[in-house]
C-alpha cells in the first residue's frame, strides 16, 4: 500500500511539475508577444521624418533577424510589420529604394525585402545597388504572379529568393524562417583567409571556415601533402585548400599498390560527380599502401584531410633532393595565402564570364568549385592542381 501511495505521489508530482513548466512557458511567450506588439504599436506612432520621410521602425529584443522592407504600397508594409514583428524580427519599412539605400549607410540589416514594381527606382535596381554597397546582406524580391520571371532575373544579379504576393501570415512566417536558416548556413560555410599551423593531432579542431596546415607536414605546389615517417615511408593526401574549395568528395581513384611514381607525376584523382581533380606525387618512389578507410567512406575528409585520412603511402627513394622543393611552416602558410588570393581573383573573372555569383559577393565558400561549369572547373584545376 505504501509503495502504491509513493508511486501515485511521484506521478502527481511529475504531472504538477510539467503543468507548472508549461504554464510558465506560456506566460513567457505571452509576455514576449505583448512586448513585440507594443514595439509594433510604437512603430506606427513614431515620426522618423528626420531620417526618412516614410520610415517606420519596430524593434524587439534578441531579434531572429533585422529586416528592411521596401514597397510603395503601405498595406504591404503594414502586413510585413504586423506578421514579422510578432514573430520576433526587427523590421524597418520604407516606400522608396532611395530611402532604403540611405538607411544602409548607417544601419545594419540581415535582409532587404524589396518590391519589384516601384516608381523612380524599381526592385531590380534595388537588388543591384544593395549587393554593390553591402554584398553581405541577403536580398529577397517581393513579386506578384505576373512578375515571377523578372524576380528570377533578379536572382541572377544577387537576390537570394523571391516571395509572391498575396501571401498568408503562415506563408510569410515560414518563408522568413527558411531565409534565416539559409543565411546561417551560408555564413557557416564562409571561408576566412586565416591559415593556422597546428599540431598534427589538432588539425581537426580548426574552425570550419579557416584553413589548417599541421606542423611538420610538407606541401607540394599541386596541393598534396606529405608526412615523413621514421621508417622512411611517406604518407600523402590532399591539403585543406583543396578539400575546402572542392567540397564533398564522391570517390578517390587510388594508385595501384606497387606502382612506381616520380615527383610531379600523376598519383591519384579526386572525383566529384563526373569531374576529377588530379593530384601529383610530392616525392618519387613506390606506392606500398592505400587507405582502405577512404575507399569505404570519403566523408571522413569533411572532418580533416590530414592525420589518418591520408590517401596512400610511398616508399620514397630520393628525399634528400626532393624535400627542398616542398613547403613547410611559414613557407606553407604564405603559399596558402598567395593561392587563396589568386583563387579569389580568378573566381571574379569566372563570374564575369558567366559563372553563378557567390552568395556573399567576394567571399569564398566551402565547395566553390561545385558551382562552376565544366570550363570553369578545368580552368581552376589547371591553375592550382596540375602543377
pLDDT single digits (tens) 119-138: 889 999 999 999 888 888 99
pLDDT mean over 56-61: 91
More confident residue, 288 or 24: 288
Tell me which CATH homologous superfamily contains domain 37-190: Response regulator (3.40.50.2300)
The CATH 3.40.50.2300 domain(s) of the chain lie at 37-190
Cβ pair 96, 70 in contact under 8 A: yes
What is the predicted pLDDT for the residue at 11?
Answer: 65
Confidence of residue 270 (pLDDT cuts 50, 70, 90): very high
Instruction: Give the pLDDT band of residue 49 (cuts 50, 70, 90).
Output: very low
From the list 174, 175, 181, the residue with the least C-alpha distance to 161 is: 175
pLDDT for 227-265, tens place per residue? 998 788 999 999 999 999 999 999 999 999 999 999 999
For residue 12, give the C-alpha cell.
502527481
The Cα–Cα gap between 99 and 95 comes to 7
Rg (CA), the chain: 28
* Residue closest to 103 by CA, chosen among 68, 61, 139, 149: 68
Residue that wins the pLDDT comparison between 352 and 291: 291
Work out the mean pLDDT of the chain and round it to a whole number.
Answer: 85
Distances (CA, A) of 134 to 99, 116, 137, 362, 377: 15, 19, 6, 11, 28
What kind of fold does domain 195-384 have according to CATH? OB fold (Dihydrolipoamide Acetyltransferase, E2P) (2.40.50)
Collect all residues with Cβ–Cβ distance below 8 Å to 17 and sequence separation of at least 6.
none
Assign 52 a pLDDT band (cuts: 50, 70, 90): confident
Q: With 80 as the cut, is the pLDDT of residue 8 above it?
A: no
pLDDT tens-digit profile of 142-201? 988 667 788 788 888 889 999 988 899 999 999 999 999 999 888 877 777 789 888 645
Q: State the pLDDT at residue 308.
A: 94
Query: What residue ranges of the chain are covered by domains with CATH 2.40.50.100?
Result: 195-384
pLDDT surpassing 80 at residue 274: yes
* Global model pTM greater than 0.85: no
Amino acid at each position: 500500500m505504501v509503495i502504491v501511495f509513493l508511486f501515485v505521489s511521484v506521478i502527481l508530482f511529475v504531472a504538477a511539475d510539467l503543468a507548472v513548466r508549461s504554464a510558465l512557458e506560456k506566460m513567457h511567450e505571452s509576455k514576449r508577444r505583448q512586448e513585440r506588439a507594443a514595439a509594433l504599436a510604437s512603430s506606427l506612432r513614431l515620426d522618423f521624418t528626420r531620417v526618412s520621410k516614410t520610415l517606420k521602425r519596430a524593434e524587439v529584443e534578441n531579434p531572429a533577424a533585422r529586416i528592411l522592407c521596401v514597397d510603395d504600397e503601405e498595406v504591404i508594409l503594414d502586413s510585413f510589420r504586423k506578421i514579422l514583428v510578432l514573430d520576433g524580427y526587427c523590421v524597418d519599412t520604407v516606400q522608396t529604394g532611395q530611402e532604403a539605400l540611405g538607411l544602409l549607410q548607417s544601419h545594419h540589416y540581415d535582409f532587404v525585402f524589396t518590391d519589384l514594381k516601384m516608381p523612380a527606382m524599381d526592385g531590380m535596381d534595388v537588388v543591384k545597388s544593395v549587393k554593390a554597397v553591402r554584398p553581405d546582406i541577403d536580398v529577397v524580391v517581393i513579386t506578384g504572379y505576373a512578375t515571377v520571371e523578372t524576380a528570377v532575373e533578379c536572382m541572377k544579379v544577387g537576390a537570394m529568393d523571391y516571395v509572391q504576393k498575396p501571401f498568408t501570415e503562415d506563408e510569410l512566417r515560414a518563408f522568413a524562417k527558411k531565409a534565416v536558416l539559409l543565411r546561417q548556413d551560408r555564413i557557416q560555410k564562409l571561408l576566412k583567409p586565416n591559415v593556422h599551423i597546428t599540431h598534427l593531432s589538432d588539425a581537426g579542431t580548426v574552425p570550419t571556415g579557416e584553413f589548417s596546415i599541421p606542423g611538420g607536414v610538407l606541401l607540394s605546389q599541386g596541393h598534396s601533402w606529405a608526412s615523413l615517417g621514421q621508417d622512411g615511408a611517406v604518407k600523402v593526401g590532399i591539403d585543406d585548400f583543396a578539400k575546402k574549395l572542392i567540397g564533398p568528395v564522391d570517390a578517390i581513384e587510388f594508385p595501384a599498390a606497387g606502382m612506381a611514381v616520380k615527383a610531379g607525376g600523376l598519383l591519384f584523382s579526386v572525383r566529384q560527380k563526373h569531374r576529377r581533380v588530379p593530384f601529383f606525387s610530392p616525392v618519387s618512389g613506390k606506392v606500398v599502401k592505400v587507405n582502405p578507410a577512404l575507399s569505404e567512406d570519403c566523408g571522413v575528409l569533411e572532418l580533416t584531410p590530414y592525420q589518418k585520412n591520408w590517401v596512400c603511402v610511398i616508399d620514397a627513394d630520393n628525399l634528400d633532393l626532393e624535400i627542398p622543393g616542398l613547403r613547410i611552416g611559414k613557407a606553407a602558410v604564405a603559399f596558402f595565402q598567395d593561392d587563396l588570393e589568386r583563387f579569389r581573383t580568378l573566381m571574379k573573372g569566372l563570374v564575369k564570364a558567366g559563372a553563378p555569383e557567390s552568395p556573399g559577393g567576394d567571399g569564398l565558400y566551402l565547395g566553390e568549385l561545385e558551382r562552376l561549369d565544366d570550363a570553369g572547373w578545368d580552368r581552376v584545376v589547371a591553375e592550382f592542381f596540375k602543377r
